[in-house]
Structure 1
């Protein structure tokens, strides 16, 4: 009997323990999450509140339903009605955020500064770091973000970060042994000079490489500027990286460019003249495009289904109506995805550790590092420093379809290269070599040697045969000169095999 009572007591005790555990899971205290979005009311920037705020608002409404009984979401917009010019906002952003934080911030278990971001990101980041408050920018990033001593609680989830473009450029350089690069930067664009700076910094860190940066000043997209750039390029490099608007690209007829968005006024439409300009089609044969993977740049079905709602909210609350659906993508969709990502990671974090201190912004930020989260059919990968890495594409022009088609995809998470189709480069399957056959100035010793032997042979023949063959030799030289002039007029055709038929040299490997 004593033995049976002892067993019964243990059984009752075990049931009590299990029941207590189950109760604690079911009654997990509701956490109040306050989202604070600083910004400006301007519509001159794709990161203005009339674009970004509707996506965040609709996401909060959705999350309020999905996580009912788990999270209570609140939201504050931080702006100054008197600031209508986006360039003025960065100068007052930290003051606005500080006043809100100390005087208007509502009580919450967690406060998150979540906004698109721009030049103001660094000043707001200094505040967030001092408060140890989680900060997420859904568009912008700067080098400071990767320094976790200066930015311990800053994440960035934008699909089109400038640092994403560095890796495919580096891949192309290393895969083709390009050691002399020429960078042309159109200062009249918004994003591309930042990409050029990041690529330039990467080149500096690759041993044995050198590069020149040529800047097209604002308002200087003209023939004189292009002529100066091309003459300098011809003397010093074989590969030109271009960062700028598609109008500049089409005027310059260059080799490598950046086109992160299609059909958006900020970047232009690279294919707009393809069907009308046969000369441009020929030039596009020497053009490779580095860009965000198309499936990254296009919102998934969840975001797409909410475009109409976002337009309605913007019209009602900001008195602004979008002119076309494309304006909502991809920055606006990125803000929506950032909210979904935040909710998923927060829920997972509290399931793992219900007692975690959510006020520790740097510890919470680390919960996002080195992981992939599936959102709206997209795989969102955040790296070891809290920056989103996206797949990148290398595209080539297809003369038959009149469009640029993907030939290579580089994974954002592991940099793995996937060959979609073979490169077709002027009849071959390889990119041009680092240096022309006869050197940048045409004085490579192997070509000079050939010229010397040719001169000796011609002189011997002239002495033996006389004036008639001398005349033939002069005519031959004139033909070569005219061919060289033709080569210069088609400077953009970089193929090694465009060598005069009189030479027997093989193309460089």
Structure 2
């Protein structure tokens, strides 16, 4: 009887398993995500600013696709403790992990999801060789549109297309070709990376003449540092791209006001990766120069390098509190002394959701051995729009997430930055473009200044209009110079006449001959000490002659 019952139970289990597989509820398939990197709260592309998004991303994909077994691990090594170490050692350390991992390739699907500090290229080379899906959320490979070289690579970075392309598109829209790049070495490491990479990644068709300079904010001699820099800027361009924190921009503007460079002829471009950064760039700091900065901010254009479309969704706003709690309680960001980078957290969370969509799409007909290839998974994402829990996301054919940035200009009356340009991706060419916002103004007008004065930096451009202005200026200077010369000659003559009059014996009188009947005797000696009395006596003497 026991044997018969055992056979019945075994048959029931086998039938149930077959039925579940036919209904799409196959035995759980494992998807393992590995994230190489390092923890450091003062470096934004580190795992510290990425890990909270791993938790929320995993929670979401487990909720949406519970029939998959989603697992994750951080790959940490002593040889990968900063960006440069990570770039130099990622291939060795990841390969060592890959070939000694505790599971078989037939048992689990491996996916690489990492923020990326500066190691995207060597990381993408490994992923392509192993045919593994790779998603980075911060760093990227500039030519990843070449799908033959990067067939398994996708990025959710809010900084894509590369920043150089973003700036180039704005310069093209404004017809600016001369750019003065000023880096504040006292600001966050992000700006240092941008200052290093930007000159190397500007497209050749941008035709930008780049001048690079740097200073250190927050020190006593910052004024002495900036004065020669601003003079050099004034002699080479009218458009400055400042890479640094808000305090450095304030130092620049204070000196620029002294040199009359905030009246609308000069443009100070600055960059932030935080959509809520308006408070960082506020002119109100309870300082004596607040009103001065408020007026000077009219010469500032603030470029927000973050996906303003995605982060405006209510679901994203709801994740912020979760990320903050995780950062404090799980990842040791005590008292949040380091500002969270929401755009990096958002990109990390999106990477997990997109990965799950790719796995689901590639496994709808069942998951046979081996698991889906990295190339197949990447192809499930390209040129598709996804309605994720965090909002709608579109992945371009080149493997980059379509993002929307804004450039803001300062409204003096409102005392805040207002949108003046909005970015978009051309549907056919996927080119990054900037569109002028109808409400955007520059010093109350619609025209933005050129990158070079009409008559050149020295005012000597050889055109009829500039020649006329130069002639008028020369005549004005000649007139002013002549008048000044006449004034100097007249002044010299007056002093000479006065000296001669003092030494001339013709008008020197004896004191006892001077009679002042209406003046008290005690004041006669005092009066003699004054030039006015002498002049009065001299005039009477002349009249008597």
Do the aligned residues in 1 keep the contact of 2:37 with 2:80 (CA within 8 Å)? no
Do the aligned residues in 2 keep the contact of 1:242 with 1:258 (CA within 8 Å)? yes
Do the aligned residues in 2 keep the contact of 1:39 with 1:48 (CA within 8 Å)? yes
Cα offset for 1:241?
A: 2.2
* Partner SS for 2:280: coil
Alignment of 1:346-357 (within 5 A): 346-351=359-364
Cα offset for 1:53?
A: 2.5
Q: For residues 168 and 387 of structure 2, what CA distance do their matches in structure 1 show?
A: 28
* Partner SS for 2:189: coil
* Partner SS for 2:363: helix
Cα offset for 1:472?
A: 8.2
Cα offset for 1:122?
A: 3.4
Q: For residues 296 and 31 of structure 1, what CA distance do their matches in structure 2 show?
A: 34
Q: For residues 426 and 25 of structure 2, what CA distance do their matches in structure 1 show?
A: 37
Q: For residues 150 and 127 of structure 1, what CA distance do their matches in structure 2 show?
A: 11
* Partner SS for 1:143: coil
Candidates 471, 477, 480, aligned match of 1:452: 471
Question: Would you say 1:72 and 2:73 are equivalent positions?
Answer: no
Cα offset for 1:436?
A: 1.3
Cα offset for 1:282?
A: 2.0
Distance 1:447 1:383, change over 3 A: same
Do the aligned residues in 1 keep the contact of 2:80 with 2:89 (CA within 8 Å)? no
Q: For residues 80 and 198 of structure 1, what CA distance do their matches in structure 2 show?
A: 26
For 1:336, the equivalent position in structure 2 comes to: 349
Alignment of 1:105-184 (within 5 A): 105-107=102-104, 108-143=107-142, 145-161=144-160, 163-184=161-182
* Partner SS for 1:409: strand
* Partner SS for 1:432: coil
Equivalences, count: 444
Measured on the aligned residues, the alpha-carbon RMSD in Å equals 4.0
Candidates 436, 440, 444, aligned match of 2:453: 436
- More deviation in 178-187 or 111-120? 178-187
Do the aligned residues in 1 keep the contact of 2:308 with 2:405 (CA within 8 Å)? no
Using the size of structure 2 for normalisation, the TM-score is 0.69
* Partner SS for 2:336: coil
Cα offset for 1:396?
A: 0.5
* Partner SS for 1:283: helix
For 1:103, the equivalent position in structure 2 comes to: 100
Q: For residues 293 and 311 of structure 1, what CA distance do their matches in structure 2 show?
A: 19
* Partner SS for 1:117: coil
Distance 1:104 1:317, change over 3 A: farther
Do the aligned residues in 2 keep the contact of 1:392 with 1:409 (CA within 8 Å)? yes
Candidates 5, 25, 34, aligned match of 2:32: 34
For 1:185, the equivalent position in structure 2 comes to: 183
Q: For residues 372 and 69 of structure 2, what CA distance do their matches in structure 1 show?
A: 16
Q: Deviations over 1:13-59 (max 9, x none)?
A: xxxxxxx9998463556432111122223333234434422331343
Do the aligned residues in 2 keep the contact of 1:289 with 1:395 (CA within 8 Å)? yes
Distance 1:119 1:327, change over 3 A: same
Q: For residues 178 and 271 of structure 2, what CA distance do their matches in structure 1 show?
A: 19
Q: For residues 358 and 191 of structure 2, what CA distance do their matches in structure 1 show?
A: 32
* Partner SS for 2:442: coil
Q: For residues 450 and 320 of structure 1, what CA distance do their matches in structure 2 show?
A: 61
Do the aligned residues in 1 keep the contact of 2:135 with 2:153 (CA within 8 Å)? yes
Using the size of structure 1 for normalisation, the TM-score is 0.74
Q: For residues 410 and 79 of structure 1, what CA distance do their matches in structure 2 show?
A: 37
Question: Would you say 1:401 and 2:420 are equivalent positions?
Answer: no
For 1:270, the equivalent position in structure 2 comes to: 281
* Bigger-Rg structure (1/2): 2
Distance 1:149 1:196, change over 3 A: farther
Q: Which runs of 5+ in 1 are unaligned?
A: 1-19, 463-467, 476-509
Do the aligned residues in 1 keep the contact of 2:218 with 2:248 (CA within 8 Å)? no
Distance 1:62 1:376, change over 3 A: closer
Do the aligned residues in 2 keep the contact of 1:358 with 1:364 (CA within 8 Å)? no
Do the aligned residues in 2 keep the contact of 1:165 with 1:290 (CA within 8 Å)? no
* Partner SS for 1:369: coil
Cα offset for 1:420?
A: 3.6
For 1:295, the equivalent position in structure 2 comes to: 308
Cα offset for 1:110?
A: 1.6
Distance 1:182 1:80, change over 3 A: closer
Do the aligned residues in 1 keep the contact of 2:38 with 2:80 (CA within 8 Å)? yes
* Partner SS for 1:104: coil
For 1:46, the equivalent position in structure 2 comes to: 44
Q: For residues 358 and 25 of structure 1, what CA distance do their matches in structure 2 show?
A: 19
Q: Deviations over 1:184-209 (max 9, x none)?
A: 233554333554566545755237x4
Q: Which runs of 5+ in 2 are unaligned?
A: 1-17, 254-266, 488-545
Candidates 241, 263, 271, aligned match of 1:258: 271
* Partner SS for 1:400: coil
* Partner SS for 1:216: strand
Distance 1:149 1:275, change over 3 A: farther
